Amino acid sequence: MGLEDQLQVGEKILYRATPSPLPLLPPAALAAGAGIGAIVLWRLAGLHPWAFWLALASAAVAVVALAVAGGRYVILRSRIYAVTDRRVLRQVGILSKVSTDAALDKINNVEMRQSLLGRLLGFGDVEVDTASEVGSTVFPQIRHPAEFKRAVLQAAEAYRGRNRMASVPTATVGVEQIRQLKQLLDEGLVSREEYEDKRKKILDTV
């Protein structure tokens, strides 16, 4: 199940985070080293009989390391981290999926943690604390964690701003608009005709 399958009607994706490829590096490096070693030993097999068996062992190590790297790649690809205009989503798992989400209006705090290596390579952990039963959701070792944190905070603030505007009575909004329009008239930035026309339109919507 992809991210798009989880979206509600009218929900928009604002930001997608991706896991750091760092877990792939150790097995990939081991596979490369073992593969090179196997090639060198294979060429020496004609001169030294023991080199043949060492070449086979190195090749086996390379295959196993490649399998580990491939498995980790599949796991990383299965992780979905996203910020929408309504919530923060986290989905993990390959065959069985575990999905959690935090509504933007429930978010209390967003914390980012980076080690020295994380700062050098551009990855870190982001923890989103919420007032819901879920408590906190951790997004481990993601790329560009500062950008993800900023996206969560901006989305939460925008969501709360929309809710505040929706809770303000229409009449109150109309009064404030007319007050601002009158100020523009007094400052000579709009004509009397423009003022009366816009004032009428505002009153019609209240």
CATH of the domain at 103: 2.30.29
Predicted structure pTM score: 0.69
The pLDDT-based confidence of 60 (bands split at 50, 70, 90) is: very high
Note the pLDDT tens digit of each residue in 76-108.
998 989 999 888 999 888 888 888 888 888 888
What is the length of the chain?
206
Span between the terminal Cα atoms of the chain, in Å: 45
Number of domains in the chain: 3
Q: What local confidence, expressed as pLDDT, does residue 51 receive? A: 84
> Do residues 177 and 161 share a domain?
no
pLDDT in tens, 21-49: 999 999 999 999 999 999 998 888 777 77
Measured between alpha carbons, how far is residue 120 from residues 3, 17, 25, 76, 142 in Å?
Answer: 30, 18, 15, 21, 13
Q: What pLDDT was estimated at residue 66?
A: 95
Asked if 88 contacts 77 with a C-beta cutoff of 8 angstroms, the reply is no
Residues 150 and 129 grouped into a single domain? yes
How confident is the model at residue 184, as a pLDDT? Answer: 75
CA–CA separation, 126 and 114 (whole Å): 9
Question: Residue 116 has which token pair?
Answer: 């020295």
42 and 94 inside one domain: no
Say whether pLDDT at 125 is over 90. Answer: yes
Distance of CA 95 to CAs 17, 73, 141, 198, Å?
21, 15, 22, 59
Tell me how far apart the alpha carbons of residues 91 and 118 are, in angstroms, rounded to a whole number. Answer: 23
Co-location of 124 and 142 in the same domain: yes
Indicate whether 99 and 190 sit together in one domain: no
- As a whole number of angstroms, the distance between CA 158 and CA 156 comes to 5
Q: Are residues 195 and 127 in the same domain?
A: no
Domain that holds residue 69: 25-75
User: Which conformational region is residue 122 in: left (phi greater than 0), alpha (psi within -120 to 50 degrees), or beta?
Assistant: left
- If asked whether residues 88 and 148 sit together in one domain, one would say yes
